[in-house]
Amino acid sequence: MKIIEKPPDPSTARYDQIIPAGEPWIHEIIKGQHLRIIDVEGNQAADTLFFNADDYADRYSAQDTIRTQANIYLTTGTKLISSKGNVLLTIVADTCGRHDTLGGACSMESNMVRYAIEKRHMHACRQSFVKAALAWGRGLEKRDLAPNINFFMNVPVTPHGGLTFRDGVSGPGKYVELRAEIDVLALISNCPQLNNPCNAYNPTPIRVLIWDPKHG
């Protein structure tokens, strides 16, 4: 657990919204604003993408982010690097400890591979991503959906190159807070996955708050 800034008071936020499990959220964050994502009830994955608000082809890159910091976990101090090498946001506070960016977002198709072909019907993050992208318009579509961040999710990698989905690093009220370094578009899917422990088999709401720079 590592917090490097005094957390702002939620009552001073300019924006405060609950995202139920299984719902997407898309919103612009202006340079200097702080975005806080709260794991309200604990163990809930918040699948998140960011785009440069002026150029959607310049988007969050999991690979560039982890390579730049030479560490696969995201936490306080992590700069979220875009596909064109820009810093989109910085994680300025994190009461969870670490977040995943290798596990990606669940989809109907990946659920069929991972669990059973009969799971096709089950709701999935990439359904939410596509739905929100199409609703947002402005040219955003499926091809723009690159590997995402899974806030509050634990996907450890071993020195032998193994990777597993595990429960257990987040908890009720834990949060991550990011400062936008340029204007960005945030796209979140509050994960509906029921087939693995990423949501403790019980998807729950998350809460997002935005502060203007003067409160940061």
Partner 1 sequence: MFDEILQPGATWSHVLKRGTALRITDIDGGLNVGAVFYNWENPTERYNMPDTLKAQHTAHLTSGHVLYSDMGRVLCSITADIVGWHDPLSGCSNAALVAQKYGHAGYQEHRNEYYKNPYDGFAIELAKYGLSVRDMAAPINFFSKVVVEDGGNMHFVSRHSRAGMYVDLRAEMNVLTILNTCQHPLDPNPKYDPRRAHVSISKVSAPLPDDRCRMSRPENERGFVLTERYFE
Residue owning tokens 């709401």: 205
HSE-CB of 134 using CA atoms within 13 angstroms: 7
SS3 (DSSP) at 184: strand
Q: What b/e sequence results for 184-195 when a residue is b if at least 16 CB atoms lie within 10 Å of its CB, and e otherwise?
A: bbbbbbbbbbbb
Question: Judged by CB under 8 A, how many residues of this single chain contact partner 1?
Answer: 44
Residues of this chain, 161-180, that bind partner 1 according to CB under 8 A: 161-165
85 vs 25: CA distance, rounded Å: 25
Q: Mask of contacts with partner 1, 71-100, x by CB under 8 A?
A: xxx---------xxx------------x--
Interface stretch with partner 1, choices 33-41, 65-73, 167-175, 186-194 (CB under 8 A): 65-73
In the complex, minimum distance from the CB of residue 20 to partner 1, in angstroms, rounded to a whole number: 24
110 interacts with partner 1 by CB under 8 A: yes
CA distance 75 to 73: 7
Buried b (16+ CB within 10 A) or exposed e, 79-108: bbbbbeebebbebbbbbbbbbbbbbbbbbe
Select the span of 11-19, 113-121, 169-177, 178-186 touching partner 1 (CB under 8 A): 113-121
Q: Which stretch binds partner 1 (CB under 8 A): 16-24, 33-41, 59-67, 166-174?
A: 59-67
CB neighbours of residue 162 within 10 Å: 8
Q: Pick from 23, 28, 40, 66: which binds partner 1 (CB under 8 A)?
A: 66
140/114 Cα distance (integer angstroms): 28
- The 123-152 contact track toward partner 1, x by CB under 8 A, reads ---x---------------xxx-xx-----
Q: Which is nearer to partner 1, 72 or 200 (CB)?
A: 72
- Binding-site ranges for partner 1 (CB under 8 A): 56-57, 61-64, 66-67, 70-73, 83-85, 98, 102-105, 107-110, 112-114, 116-117, 126, 142-144, 146-147, 155, 157-159, 161-165
